[in-house]
Chain A
Amino acid sequence: MRDQERRPAHLIEAVLLVSARPIGSSDLRSATGLSDQELESALAGLRERYAPESSGIVLREVAGGHLLSTNPACSAAVERFRREARPAPLSGAAHEVLACALYLGPLTRGAVSRVRGVNSDAVIRSLIERNLLVEVGADHDAPGSPALLGVTDEFLAATGASSRKDFPPLDSLVTQEELDRVRERLASSGTAAGSEPS
Chain B
Amino acid sequence: MTFEPLGRSLSDFTVELDVYSGPYEWLLALILKDELEIFEVPLRELVESYLLVRRPGAANGLERDTDFAGSAAALILLKSRTLSPAIDADSEGIEDEPLSPEVLAERLTEYLKIRRAAEHLKDRFVLNAGHYTSAHTIAPRQGSLSINLDRVSLAARQAFSRLIEPPVRHLGPITVTLQQLAGIIRTAIAGGPVSYESLTSDMDRMNRAVAFAAALSLAQEGSLTLTQAEPLGPLTLEPSR
Binding site for B on A (CB under 8 A): 17-21, 58, 60, 67-70, 72-73, 75, 78, 82, 86, 88-96, 98-100, 102-104, 108, 110-111, 113-119, 122-123, 126, 142-144, 146, 157-161, 167-168, 170-171, 173-174, 178-179, 182-183, 186-187, 190
Contact = CB atoms under 8 A, between A and B. Distances in A.
A119 B138 contact: no
A110 B39 contact: no
B37 A72 contact: no
Given A119-B94, A122-B39, A20 B115 contact: no
Given A86-B129, A118-B85, A174-B113, A17 B119 contact: no
A70 B94 contact: no
B169 interface: no
A115 B111 contact: yes
Interface string B112-130: 1111111111101111111
Contacts, number: 173
Prevailing SS type, chain A contact patch: helix
A114 B39 contact: no
Chain A CB within 10 Å — which of B104, B133, B136 has the most? B133
Nearest to A182: B108
A159 B122 CA distance: 9
B134 A103 contact: no
Given A70-B132, A96-B114, A187-B101, A168 B120 contact: yes
B131 A72 contact: yes
B122 A95 contact: yes
A160 B134 contact: no
Contacts of B19: 88-89, 91
Given A88-B18, A113-B93, A95 B121 contact: yes
Contact of A18 (B40, B90, B109, B138): B138
Interface string B33-52: 00001111000000000000
